[in-house]
Every structure is written in structure tokens, then in C-alpha cells.
Amino acid sequence: MQIPSSIPELRLALRNRGRVVLVPTMGNLHAGHIALMKEARVHGDTVVATIFVNRLQFGPSDDFDRYPRTFTEDCERLSGAGVDLLLAPTETELYPEPQTYQVDPPAIQNQLDGEFRPGHFRGVATVVLKLFNIVQPQAALFGKKDYQQLLVLRNMTRQLALPIDVIGGETVRADDGLALSSRNSYLSAAERAEAPRLQRILRRIAAAVLAGASDFTQLERQASEELDQHGWQTDYVAIRLQADLQVPSHPAAGPLVVLAASRLGSARLIDNVEINPKKGPLTGGN
């Protein structure tokens, strides 16, 4: 794996590389990231990973300073996964001047996660557009665990007519069902044992909806209360349309997804389960 030491060096290294597939990350890589790298290989000739903890997408009380940085281990994992090139720019290289031109996503940026993390999706869209411009890939992969992020980036790419296929990678889970996340490392042993409750509740809601439950507000409220009774502080549990993450006008309005964000100790965990009648909850790899 090549690690170009600057953006110009990366651009040189990318000449005549065929179809380039980009996998942007913030590092502290786990099996979910590695699955994205392996899938990237299927979609192109050259796989480029980036590691950059993007200050722009963190709020003032978010975990930017303590976000785990594990560059040496990350390099070993990326190289083992067959990644061709890694760009890991410094903040001054990616933001040599204040990034005053930013991508301002539409109303979706203030809903669900955006309601609790103001400015987050503006920061994500801005850095991803910048990485797209630097790498100029033909395809890019993002994990479905960040379902709203994937939607925002897919819509941005389409509306700005970027010639890039945005591909969603399935969520990878631990044996007990917990979605892998760098933020799981903030959990104590007791919290780690409690954490799989989040996906169990989401699966249960998905099963109830498939079985015909139609009072979505009640399902959401009960789930949120159950989490909070077990020591969580829930931001939201929401049943939404997969297509645009809006509230469905009626239970059969289209394919649904149930999403949640909740805090356990000092970790804010997010997860989602697509509700696909033919496949059933979770068989899509959520």
C-alpha cells in the first residue's frame, strides 16, 4: 500500500489507475471498515482509503479530542485488506485556510441525527465533496450504519452531478448483534454488555411492523422508554421511509427503516434496521 505524503503526490500516484473507488474514514478501523475496503475492490481497479478526523463535523461538546486515533494499526489493517493507496492528510493540508465555502444540505440535515448534532451533516458533506475533488473517484463506499449520512451524500452527489457511484456497505455486527463502531470503545464492560439492546429493540420494531403494527408513534415511544429504563438517554427512535427518511404518510407508504440514536454512558450509539417485507428484518445485513 502506498501512502502518498501530500495531496499532489496522491494525484500523481492516481494517474492511469483505471476505475478508482474511494472509502473515506476517520480511522480507528474495525471489521466494518475492512468489509467496505474489500467490497470497494469488487467495484473498481484501485482502492483509495482516506483517514481524516474531520473537525468540521463535530460540535463543540462532541468527542473530537478523544476520538480514537490508531494510525499504525489502521495502516496494517488497510494493507492487509488490499487497499492500494491511503491518504491521511493533516488538518492544515486539508484545510489550509478556514473552510468558509461549505456544502449546506437541505432540511434533512436538521432532522433525526441532525436535530441533535447541529452542523454535523454540513461538515460531513463539505469534507466528502473535498475528498471527492481530491481523489476524483468513479465510486465511493459508505457504511449503512450511518444511514442518514449515506442518504445526504447520495443526494449531494446526484444533485451536484458528480460522476461518482455512491454505494452503501452493509453494517457489520459483533456476535451479540451490536453494530461495530469506533465509539464502542467508550463503553465500560457493563455498558458493552447492555449495548446490544439497541439493535434488539430495532429488530423487534421491524418484526412488529412486518406483522402489521401500524401505530408507529407508540412503537417509537415504547422503545425509547425501554432504553431509558435501562440507563440509556435516547435522542430518537424513528420509523421512516428508506427513500428520503421522511415520516411515512401511512404504514404502506414505501419501504421503511427504523433508526435510533441513544447515549449509553459516554458513548452515543446509532443503529438502524431496514424493514424489507420480502427479506425480513436484518437479512439485508443491517
Point out which residues bind ligand PAF (CB under 6 A). Answer: 24-26, 54, 57, 124, 127-128, 142, 146, 149
Say which amino acid occupies 40.
A
Least Å distance between CB 137 and ligand PAF? Answer: 13
Report the C-alpha gap between 235 and 224 in whole angstroms: 8
Q: Is 120 a catalytic residue?
A: no
CB of 24 to ligand PAF, least distance (A): 4
Nearer to ligand PAF, 35 or 128 (CB): 128
Distance CA 61, CA 199 (A): 26
Of 47, 119, 130, 58, which Cα lies nearest the Cα of 89?
Answer: 130
Choose between 25 and 234: whose C-beta lies nearer to ligand PAF. 25
Q: Which of 30, 33, 120, 250 is catalytic?
A: 33
CB of 172 to ligand PAF, least distance (A): 14
Nearer to ligand PAF, 85 or 205 (CB): 85
Our CA angle for 86, 92, 98, nearest 5°, is 125
Distance in Å, CB of 252 to ligand PAF, minimum: 32
DSSP string, 204-258: HHHHHHHTT---HHHHHHHHHHHHHHTTEEEEEEEEEETTT-PPPSSTTSS-EEE
Q: Quick one: 117 or 240, whose CB is closer to ligand PAF?
A: 117
H helices present in 2-80, as ranges: 7-13, 31-43, 71-80
| Residues annotated catalytic, as ranges | 33
